Structure 1
């Protein structure tokens, strides 16, 4: 995946379509992100560059309960790509 604003927007769309809000805030995050599961909010360190934001979202998305049926076709393909990557890495 290329590190572009367009790809970052697509990753954020996957979260938004599943009811998650993505916020960029200042803070001392251990790994660049914080998840408030009860409120379905993903908070990323606003000082991360685009590459850091994309890598962080790719790491976070498999940990979340994403409602696949609510995703658009394009978002479903991206989600499946991310999940295949996780399965491949865990082998």
Structure 2
């Protein structure tokens, strides 16, 4: 997976299509993110660089309740890639 802004946008699309709102805020996040589950809001540390944002989203997405059927075909493929990478490292 390439470390580009396009990749970040595609990962954010997976979350957006599943009803999550992605926000970038200042804060002292230990892992670079926090999740407000009741409101489906993902807050990422705005000071993360591009690589950090991608790695954080790749770590976060498998932990969330993503409705695969709501995703577009492109997002479904990207989601499957993320899950495969997660399972390979687990």
Q: Tell me whether the two structures share a fold, i.e. TM-score over 0.5.
A: yes
Aligned equivalents of 2:46 and 2:88: distance in 1? 30
In the other structure, the counterpart of 1:88 is 88
1:1-91 alignment runs, 5 A limit? 1-90=1-90
Alignment partners' CA distance in 1, 2:63 and 2:18: 13
- Structure 2 segments unaligned to the other structure (5+ residues): none
Task: Give me the CA root mean square deviation.
Answer: 0.5
Aligned equivalents of 1:27, 1:37: Cα separation in 2? 18
Runs of 4+ in 1 over 3 A off after TM superposition: none
Q: Which runs of 5+ in 1 are unaligned?
A: none
Q: Aligned partners of 1:15 and 1:31: how far apart in 2? A: 18
Task: Return the TM-score normalized by structure 1.
Answer: 0.97
